[in-house]
Amino acid sequence: MTNREFYGEEVKTESSWAGPARILFITLILAGGFLYYYFGPRVEDIQGTNPRASALTRPISMTIGVDRFVIPENYTVFTRNRRGGVQDNVEMYAVLPSFDGYSLPRQLDFESNDPNSPVVYFSLFDPVKVAKEEGQISDEIVSERAKFERIYLPTIANPKGEPWRFGLTHYKLSDSWAGADEDLFVHENSDGSLVIFRCLQAVSTMPSPWCRRDTYLSSSLGLSYRFKRSRLGDWRDIDQGVMNLVKRFRRNAARSPMDPEVSPAPASAPTAAAPAQAPATGPPSLAPANEQETWSRPPQGTPGAPGPDDLRPEPDDGSEDSSGSTE
């Protein structure tokens, strides 16, 4: 009688390669997970919320609020904005004094967080959608003068202010303000409107401070821009340069055919074809300098930034009027 007959059961044998195959399969799964973790796309990459520099000047058609723009790719900071179409907020940057977008020759300028950095960050946004996203109860369009009187003035340590250089008046925010290490610099235009800059102070935790302006160009379009505090003396040129870029991007849209995927902007007269794509490409990733810094958002109900080579700013010819422009 055999052992199989003695115990009344059948003995099953396993192939000699089954064990190593299981080990190999598990090893491949672990290796794949390891490679994806370190080299695969992250959630931020898929959503396009990672800053990534590009030297391409490919025109991107997009709509913000009810306004249509065509913006060269090398002005955009985040990949999500390069998809075009309807956008709630478009983050951009340019370099002084030419207000050109990112390029390889100026790569070090865009990467630098030096206190005298020549880079200006600016964004266009839909104020209604941004207010909803931030949970604000009111989406009221507040002028800079109204904002100064309602929000800033009660928290200013020196209500009368002190005359400063470059046509500005300096106000010191009191400790009751959330950003105690901030100063206000205000300019009054001839029509009574105000231009307000919130400037961080140079402290140990903020050795390279920014100045920032938040304003509205219309009831459906907000603008925010920021630059290094050391360049506050150039605020007029910076303001005019940013405004000229916004005008130019709008004019580009008026000269280009209407993108059927972009709505609800009204169609403009189609004329010139889109510029050819430049062959150069930027480095794989470039984080804007302000990522190393923090900045408190404006109080509830106030505006705030969620903060082609041939498209250079031109002198304002008065053909377009903007509520955000200065005298």
Number of domains into which the chain is organized: 1
Structure tokens at 45: 């990459």
For range 104-112, the mean pLDDT: 95
pLDDT at 135 over 80: no
For range 27-41, the mean pLDDT: 64
In the chain, which ranges are E strands? 59-64, 67-72, 85-86, 89-95, 119-125, 162-163, 169-172, 182-188, 194-200, 210-218, 221-228
The confidence score (pLDDT) of residue 204 equals: 78
Contact 196, 168 (CB under 8 A): no
How wide is the angle at C-alpha 199 spanned by C-alphas 197 and 200, nearest 5°?
160
Residue 5 lies in a domain: no
The position carrying tokens 């090893």 is: 27
pLDDT at 126 over 80: yes
Residue 110 lies in a domain: yes
Residue 67 lies in a domain: yes
The confidence score (pLDDT) of residue 136 equals: 62
For range 43-60, the mean pLDDT: 74
Kindly report, residue by residue over 254-277, the tens digit of the pLDDT: 987 655 444 443 433 333 443 444
Cβ contacts of residue 220 below 8 Å, gap of 6+? 65, 66, 67, 126, 127, 128
The confidence score (pLDDT) of residue 290 equals: 41
Cβ contacts of residue 35 below 8 Å, gap of 6+? none
Residue 149 lies in a domain: yes
CA R_g for the chain: 27
Residue 2 lies in a domain: no
pLDDT at 323 over 80: no
Instruction: Name residue 162's beta-bridge partners.
Output: 170
Residue 154 lies in a domain: yes
Contact 132, 228 (CB under 8 A): no
Q: Within 10 A of 179 (CB to CB), how many other CB atoms are there?
A: 15
Cβ contacts of residue 51 below 8 Å, gap of 6+? 77, 78, 285, 286, 287, 288, 291
* Overall pTM > 0.75: no
Residue 66 lies in a domain: yes
pLDDT at 35 over 80: no
pLDDT at 102 over 80: yes
Q: How far from chain centre, in Å, is Cα 186? A: 24
Residue 15 lies in a domain: no
Listed range (36-50, 182-196, 298-312) with the worst mean pLDDT: 298-312
pLDDT at 66 over 60: yes
- CA quadruple 282, 311, 219, 325: dihedral positive or negative? positive
**Residue ranges making up the domain that contains 186:** 48-292
Q: How far is Cα 295 from Cα 81, in angstroms, rounded to an integer?
A: 22
Kindly report, residue by residue over 273-297, the tens digit of the pLDDT: 434 444 443 333 344 444 334 343 3
What is the average pLDDT value for the chain, to the nearest integer?
A: 76
The position carrying tokens 């919130």 is: 198
For range 175-202, the mean pLDDT: 87
